[in-house]
Chains A and B, each alone.
Chain A
Amino acid sequence: MESYSRRWFLGVSGATMLTAGLTACGSSDSDSGKSGGQLTAFVWGDDAAKIQEDAVRKFNASSAAKKTGGTIKLQRIPGSDYPAKLRTAMGSPSAPDLFFNWGGGSIKAYVDADQLIDLHDIIESTPALKNGFLPSIIQSGALEGRPYGIPMRGMQPVLLFFNKKVFKDAGLEPPTSWTQLLDINKKFKSRGIQPFALGGADKWTELMWVSYLVDRIGGPEVFRKIQGGDASAWGDPAVLRAAEEIKSLVDDEAFGKGFSSVQYNNGGASTLLAKGKAAMHLMGSWEYPTQLGKFKDFAENDLGWVAFPAYDGGAGDIKNVVGNPTNYWSVSARTKNREAAIEFLKTCASEEYTKALIANGDIPTTANAGALLEDSPNPEFAKFQYELVQNAPAFTLSWDQAVKPDWSAPMLTEIDKLFLGQSSPKEFVTALKGLK
């Protein structure tokens, strides 16, 4: 018995370490207890979160906050952990009252679980909200026509950013067609410059390449079918073609040798572009505020941008855009102070908030934004984006947000394997067709 219990203890203490590890992942949120009318808000903690911090500070001091008896406590959640932390918090008794999201697929699970307030009636009965935003933007984040979010950041098309100085030194112009792109790659490589920065340690950066290539080769319909949940739609020849183009770019070292160890979230890829080690960077429009925060001089003088080039003979229009329409605040159905939450949402349509976003280089989706764009730190960039989105025949939502949630992680893994050369383009297509 004596030796049994000791062995038992040893074995089980091993198991304790295990479960301790497991529960540590699950219980990371215990500090959001509410007192009185205080509301908790979760926001994606990147450089741009300072705008939301200011907005919250102003709201807490405002008369609306006093009237509704609610102040807001903003929690910045760092980068890629955000969705997991949000899910854990939403499944616990201490869910945030307000939270940042991407609309659409990113909130579907919460809507299915009846955890969000359907904002339709509130928007209709509140002029500040009803007339405050571009109607199409509120709709892009809606599910089955019901809006669950209020736009709170700028529009985020994915653009091909480039380093003007590097291009000028090489006497080159940014590409508008795929053939030009390949030609430019060759010239940069002979000068010892890596054509593209890519933060391949974050798989979603690789997704942007796949999304744009599939759009340019096969048109936006290809992904629309996939989005519908039909796995056989991955068999479209455009997906295979896109995968082959990516393979040849990777084999050609267009992304450098070490791209899979470079992160976007820690600024690695952006630094490559700013320091002139890489010539171009395919990234969401948030690259501009990111560069502005990290390398002010570069962002103001040498950062250029163009639309993703057309694919010769492809079906997709060069004007099509891939990216995120914007980010949204959604309100938890369990909030104790709904009035305060709605008062806060109204401030997102205010001119003051719009100006703050514009000053940070964002293009807000508020109705009054168009007239204010002149005040942007870079009106040229602001107007380029605004017009790009306005004139786009199709705006494809980022795939990882658009597909059904259980496809998202395996899809990103397969894309990563394609970039790493662990699966061939054919294996890539087969694996995606096998998604359940």
Chain B
Amino acid sequence: MTEPVTKSVDAAPKAGVQATRVGRPHASWALPGVLFFMFFAVAPMALAVYLSFTEWNGLGDPRFVGLDNWQNLVGDPRLTQSLTVTVLMTVVSWAFQTVIALLLGVWAAGKQRNRAILSAVFFVPFLLSSTAIALLFFALLDPNFGVIKGDTLGTTSGAFLAIIFVGGWQFIPFHTLIYQGGARQIPEVLYQAAAIDGAGRVRQFFSITLPQLRHTMAMSSVLMVVGSLTYFETVLILTQGGPGTDTAILPYLMYEAGFKSYDFGYASAVATFLVVAATGLSLLMVRITGFGSMRSVREGM
């Protein structure tokens, strides 16, 4: 075991030096990307921030009202409810998707042909549009003519779980793909060494696969969390925030304020709040998981 260690310790600094010497591409290469990003992300975002200080019904010119929308937002009981539902939905769908995607991904990383074929089949739901998927499940859940008879979408827990399930059904394939890639990166020698030491499958999974997938998990989790914060079509089509306002997550609250009540000022305040919350949360997650420092998982090997 000594030889590989010295080798990698030797190799690492060399590679680092080389990278600095060759240099990075000129900054102008980033220009198309930056322009695209400015135009489609930063500019609309700035507009939303501006609109959050105005009163606007979609017609004519916005009227500046100062902090009115923000004061309403802070005092709105629906924001508190919405925030609770959003957080709950994010946590539950993270747990649901991560467990299944991790197991499936590790399984799919095997080189057997049947696994390759089945992973291709599993990937199909991700290719469908969220709207089509939501409509499909809405029909399946119809209490009178659906496959699953019963008032699934009419009860608070039923509607909540249906949204989690439909979201999972769609996005698990994507995260499976990420985990599959991650699992294939794990050097075979680790398993060989573990086998020599007498570790069984389960032990190998918990002592090698899981720790090695740390960064994969961090990335997949950030994507899931940010994704569920912006989860919208499924809620719109399956429940319209219902029953009552029980599944009205933040993006839906924003949609309702904007496109049902035509209060675009208030909707923009919700949108700005969402941007700040989502950015803060993903920065926090990146810091906690140590993903930002990008240290190699093979450190000290």
**Which A residues form the contact surface with B (CB < 8 A)?**
3, 6-7, 10-12, 14-23, 25, 84, 87-88, 90-91, 109-110, 112-113, 115, 200-201, 256-262, 268, 271-272, 277, 405-406, 408-410, 413, 416-417, 420, 422-423
Contacts and interface: CB of A to CB of B under 8 A. Distances in A.
B259 interface: yes
Contacts of A420: 154, 242-244
Nearest to B260: A409
Listed residue (B154, B251, B261, B293) with the most chain A CB atoms within 10 angstroms of its CB: B154
A18 B163 CA distance: 19
B150 interface: yes
Contacts of A271: 144-145
B154 A109 contact: no
Nearest to B263: A406
Contact of A409 (B44, B244, B261): B261
A110 B262 CA distance: 12
B279 interface: yes
A301 to B, nearest CB: 22
Nearest to B279: A11
A113 B60 CA distance: 6
B48 A19 contact: yes
A408 B254 CA distance: 16
Interface stretch (B1-9, B117-125, B199-207, B226-234): B226-234
B275 interface: yes
Closest 9 CB pairs of A and B: A258-B143, A260-B154, A258-B151, A14-B226, A113-B59, A84-B259, A261-B153, A16-B41, A91-B58
B37 A16 contact: yes
A294 to B, nearest CB: 13
Given A15-B278, A16-B37, A260-B243, A22 B271 contact: yes
A422 B243 contact: yes
Interface of B: 37, 40-41, 44-45, 48, 57-60, 141-145, 150-154, 222, 226-227, 229-230, 232, 240, 242-246, 251, 254-256, 258-263, 271, 274-275, 278-280, 282-283, 286-287, 292-294
Nearest to B219: A10
B217 to A, nearest CB: 15
Contacts of A17: 226-227, 230
Given A12-B279, A14-B282, A87-B58, A22 B242 contact: no
A12 B60 CA distance: 31
Interface centre among A15, A17, A22, A409 (most CB of B within 10 A): A22
Secondary structure call for the A interface: helix
A260 B226 contact: no
A410 B278 contact: no
Of A14, A109, A416, chain B has the most CB atoms within 10 Å of the CB of: A14
A12 B286 CA distance: 12
Contacts of A416: 242-244
Given A19-B44, A115-B59, A261-B152, A25 B144 contact: no
23 contacts: A7-B283, A7-B292, A10-B283, A11-B286, A12-B41, A14-B279, A17-B226, A17-B227, A18-B275, A19-B275, A21-B232, A87-B59, A87-B259, A91-B59, A109-B58, A200-B154, A258-B143, A261-B151, A271-B144, A405-B262, A406-B262, A408-B261, A422-B246
A27 to B, nearest CB: 10
B282 A10 contact: yes
B143 A261 contact: yes
Nearest to B152: A261
B261 A410 contact: yes
B30 to A, nearest CB: 10
A90 B259 CA distance: 13
Contacts of B41: 12, 15-16, 19-20
Given A16-B41, A21-B230, A84-B259, A110 B59 contact: yes
A109 B280 CA distance: 37
B59 A90 contact: yes
Contacts of B283: 7, 10-11
B60 to A, nearest CB: 5
Nearest to A91: B58
Nearest to A267: B145
B58 A413 contact: no
Contacts of A423: 244
B45 A409 contact: no
Nearest to B135: A266
A257 B58 contact: no
B106 to A, nearest CB: 25
